Homo-oligomer: A and B are copies of this chain.
Amino acid sequence: MAADNKKMVEAITSMEDDFAQWYTDVVKKAELIEYTSVKGCMVIRPYGYAIWEHMQRILDGMFKATGHENVCMPMFIPESLLQKEKDHVEGFAPEVAWVTHGGSEPLEERLCVRPTSETLFCEHYANIIHSWRDLPKLYNQWVSVVRWERTTRPFLRSREFLWQEGHTIHATAEEAITETEQMLNVYADFCENYLAMPVVKGKKTESDKFAGAVATYAIEALMHDGKALQAGTSHYFGDGFAKAFDIHYTDKNNTQQNPHQTSWGVTTRLIGAIIMTHGDDNGLVLPPAVAPTQLVILPIAQHKPGVLEKAAELRDRLAKVARVKMDDSDNSAGWKFAEHEMKGVPLRLEIGPKDIEAGQCVLVRRDNREKTVVKLEDLETVVPQMLKEVHEALYNKALENRERRTFSCTTMEEITAKLQENGDGFVKAMWCGEEECEDKVKETTGVGSRCIPFAQENLSDRCVCCGKPAKHMVLWGKAY
């Protein structure tokens, strides 16, 4: 791998010099993705896909623990079906891919490749829901969707992306709202406790709602560069879709009712989020919970007798407490250090002849490069403990970055000044609730409304823009 070696140890662009280029370097050099000849569509390579598999496994467990079942809808939506809910079609029609031919024959009706599947779920619900006993249905599916974006970036905005979309239907509005909130909490729990990424929970403003929703909730994260990233959304639909799609049920009093719906989703974008939350100038830094390899064992002076055997013994022992890999390739130690740092492996274990003699090894943390000498017999205890410490350190560092870059402001001038002084970040400022002011804040200061946080603070009684009475504290930011 001589040629590759050289490529791998070449430094990537520094984050401070060019964050966007740093990001592109990392996704390529950590072998997460490769481009294809279809613009905006990428190959998710084994290392990138393994991260997604861990995300799926954890989230799927959380969904099932909250009573959800997986299903699979078709990928195609007939044009007439997409058009049934007015707001929804207006939101999505401009960015769908249209299938017009099957083999050499034109289709009678064109089909779009699903950009999201509300319409398909609604058609299905109309078929299977008749009585209050059929409710609720708590469904989810893991699929890919297509949105014909103009500008694309790996994981962050691609024409095809992988996601899960939960779709639930309930007898009452209250139940549906509870579900919408519950799933936002599941997402926040996942981001914080598995991805080590702090998030702000809140409600989207009217102008920023999902097409067809009564209310959209979101979790918002702040990336290392101070830009905001919407990490997950949960929508409450009321009975709007049910009415548009003629979904009825007979309640306990034998009266016809429209049920109430929700949908919620997270995507492979979360991979982009962890790159930009935790990464550094040496590459990826992965939160242990989703790292394909949590501990890489590097035998030092591996040609010396007994080294490889000992390393293999440790690999087999530690496989019981972590996802372990041994790198006994013939690459140099320096190359291996760089390689596994680039790939963000949370812990590195070095073991050479002298260590073996002393009955110890060296554990190196990826996040802060701290080295600890550990007795071999303590490894089963120390490794899980250290993985936990890495998680906590990542979370705290990300939280510090967010706190340092969150600016409470009461005037437009203050917003501009704070951002100029400190660079991008979250702005907290009061808002009257008028779209006009929302737009004006964005035009003037560059930060748009990210959400109305559930945790409200009363920074002032006045809208930061018009000075009229304030209704909400809004979190503002530049969005990915």
Spell out A's residues near B (CB within 8 Å): 1, 3-4, 34, 36-38, 41-46, 49-50, 52-53, 69-78, 81, 93-104, 111, 113, 120, 123-124, 127-128, 130-131, 133-134, 139, 143-144, 146, 148, 159-160, 162
Please state if B75 and A144 are interface contacts (CB–CB under 8 Å).
yes
Q: Give the chain B neighbours of A101 by CB distance below 8 A.
A: 97-98, 100
Closest residue of chain B to A132, judged by CB?
Answer: B1
Task: State in angstroms the CA–CA spacing of A120 and B104 once bound together.
Answer: 22
Closest residue of chain B to A142, judged by CB?
Answer: B142
Please state if A43 and B72 are interface contacts (CB–CB under 8 Å).
yes
Please state if A1 and B75 are interface contacts (CB–CB under 8 Å).
no
Task: State in angstroms the CA–CA spacing of A97 and B106 once bound together.
Answer: 10
Enumerate 15 A-B pairs (CB-CB under 8 Å) in ascending A order: A4-B131, A34-B127, A36-B74, A36-B123, A36-B124, A41-B74, A41-B75, A41-B76, A44-B71, A44-B72, A95-B102, A96-B103, A97-B101, A98-B101, A98-B102
Please state if A46 and B139 are interface contacts (CB–CB under 8 Å).
yes
Task: State in angstroms the CA–CA spacing of A75 and B78 once bound together.
Answer: 19
Task: State in angstroms the CA–CA spacing of A471 and B365 once bound together.
Answer: 64
Identical chains bound together, number = 2
Please state if A99 and B98 are interface contacts (CB–CB under 8 Å).
yes
Q: A44-B72, A75-B146 are in contact. List 11 more A-B contacts (CB 8 A).
A: A4-B131, A4-B134, A36-B123, A41-B74, A43-B120, A46-B139, A75-B75, A93-B103, A94-B103, A97-B102, A100-B101
CB distance from A43 to the nearest CB of B (A): 5
Closest residue of chain B to A31, judged by CB?
Answer: B128
Q: Give the chain B neighbours of A43 by CB distance below 8 A.
A: 71-74, 120, 124
Task: State in angstroms the CA–CA spacing of A370 and B127 once bound together.
Answer: 37
Please state if B46 and A81 are interface contacts (CB–CB under 8 Å).
no
Our pick among B81, B95, B111, B127 for the contact of A103 (Cβ within 8 Å) is B95
CB distance from A39 to the nearest CB of B (A): 10
Name the residue among A4, A43, A159 with the largest chain B CB count within 10 angstroms: A43
Please state if B69 and A50 are interface contacts (CB–CB under 8 Å).
yes
